[in-house]
Amino acid sequence: GENVEQHPSTLSVQEGDSAVIKCTYSDSASNYFPWYKQELGKRPQLIIDIRSNVGEKKDQRIAVTLNKTAKHFSLHITETQPEDSAVYFCAASQEGAGGTSYGKLTFGQGTILTVHP
Amino acid sequence: KAGVTQTPRYLIKTRGQQVTLSCSPISGHRSVSWYQQTPGQGLQFLFEYFSETQRNKGNFPGRFSGRQFSNSRSEMNVSTLELGDSALYLCASSLLAGGPYETQYFGPGTRLLVL
């Protein structure tokens, strides 16, 4: 089955700096890659996602890049703010594949991001 | 639209008991997936339901089961609880399953503590 590795496990930055979190996946059939942010005691919230037909997607200070050949994707946060502090999870799935792919996201282990004022 | 809701939010049980958790998806969403979140194992897929049918199941023992009702609400049940079942149980709903709209939206979770 799919395996997603996420690095680093912890990341500490100063306010205003950029943060980059990287994930690699094992199954070349994966075609959908969401990123979730989970604040302490709260639900995971989707912050951005990318499908395999594009290489990059941006939403204000957040961007995601995908390299299908290398099977890795990254989250980039620019101009970080203290409220960006949270645990970030990457995930992978196979949209439309059916079978053992139905409704299944395979998650990375998470990155604890701390933004210091 | 109201988000995904889960009840109860917190539960304390003892070993050997059973527990039922409930999830109400976003209105119009038909697919419900369940995940277990623990510090050691992270987020792991339990199962997925669509149109009252379980279509996919993760690598969990048969003590973990679920069902979905005609209004898309879903329940999961854990029988013969073990200490290791202590976790945050999250459900997520998506608009369509098997298509290009599988973005999953999570509920707040039920935190289960087994003593």
Find the CB nearest A103 among B97, B100, B105: B97
The model's pLDDT over B31-72, given as tens digits with 9 standing for 90+, comes to 999 999 999 899 999 999 999 999 999 999 999 999 999 999
B14: Cβ contacts below 8 Å, ≥ 6 apart: B81, B114, B115
Find the CB nearest B97 among A36, A102, A106: A102
Output the furthest CA–CA distance in chain B (Å, rounded): 42
Q: Which pairs count as long-range contacts for B18-22, CB under 8 Å and 24+ apart, including other chains?
A: B18/B77, B18/B78, B18/B79, B18/B80, B18/B81, B19/B77, B19/B78, B19/B81, B19/B112, B20/B75, B20/B76, B20/B77, B21/B75, B21/B76, B21/B77, B21/B78, B21/B89, B21/B91, B21/B110, B21/B112, B22/B73, B22/B74, B22/B75
Assigned token pair, A11? 């990341």
pLDDT (0 to 100) of residue A103: 85
Cα separation of the two ends of chain A? 41
Closest approach of A80 to chain B, Cα-based (Å): 24
The model's pLDDT over A38-81, given as tens digits with 9 standing for 90+, comes to 999 999 999 999 998 889 999 999 999 999 999 999 999 999 99
Interchain CB distance below 8 Å, A103 and B106: no
Examine the pLDDT at A1 and tell me if it is beyond 90.
no
Interchain CB distance below 8 Å, A43 and B97: no
Mapping DSSP to helix (H, G, I), strand (E, B) and coil, where does residue B100 land?
A: coil
- Kindly report the average pLDDT of chain B as a whole number: 93
Q: How confident is the model at residue B99 (pLDDT cuts 50, 70, 90)?
A: low
- Section B104-112 average pLDDT: 96
**Which chain B residues contact residue A89 at CB under 8 A?**
42-43
pLDDT (0 to 100) of residue B102: 78
Examine the pLDDT at B100 and tell me if it is beyond 70.
no
Q: Dihedral sign for Cα A113, B2, B7, B9, please.
A: positive
Among A33-37, B56-60, B95-99, the range scoring the smallest mean pLDDT is B95-99
